[in-house]
Structure 1
């Protein structure tokens, strides 16, 4: 028993020598203020089964228009050559190229259903520029202060080849309504 008494006495003395009451009160105050902010954090609030809305079936948006035209609804924030004209499609890269791992995003309104969709613009990399169907639509473009919101960057830098070929427009999901 004397061993435990000496151990705890030495431990208490070490803590007392290395810390102060003011330091303890400061740490206590910081933790209390921090815990006071926890209710302000965003959380996913569960719904009871009887009040939960029925989940909307996952479906692709209805398409209208020519995907080889710059006026196609998915291209509202595109800047580059359309893969539709270069041997690919609006959501796949042409043969011999690879899709970039880095993307920029935009929100475009589908004229068929009037809903906004989040569009991921992926560059296709690996061969020289397609040089067909150049399209630069900068709807909602802002000055460059966040690179992930800009379409003026070579997004092939994250791929095995940094040579840009064309750009795709992939629907990621439905955008939140304002």
Structure 2
């Protein structure tokens, strides 16, 4: 059974009048008409390109928030192994030589001839305040000893067990050290 209702509108002079065309219109038709009026009104104010831009932003925001949780981040919380000389909490998920111990810093390679790899991995470490931080690890590599000499490092970390070195691009690419930079928060 279809439901019908009376549509009352306000005329140009402000008096209320019944719309004879919509006197017994089903609810579904009324919704269709309302949507048609809204889209018609909106189309006069914006272009198709504007609509696609707004629709794309909303869609990416919805999809992006769902995809962010599935990114390859090890969310297990590790603590730094202070017995091996790795005293910085950012190195809790590292296996190798921290660049900060080798003449560089946690965010830059030790020499200008050293290059960052295009590949990185992440882990969650506990900072001194007790909250977890997501750390992005990236290897610094050398194309030859003259461009990035082998450095003597004051510490060697084995906190994450055996890890691959990510120096790619030919046989001359040699591992020098690993960068560790904070990129976000993980559960406290």
TM normalised by structure 2 equals 0.47
Structure showing greater Rg: 2
TM normalised by structure 1 equals 0.49
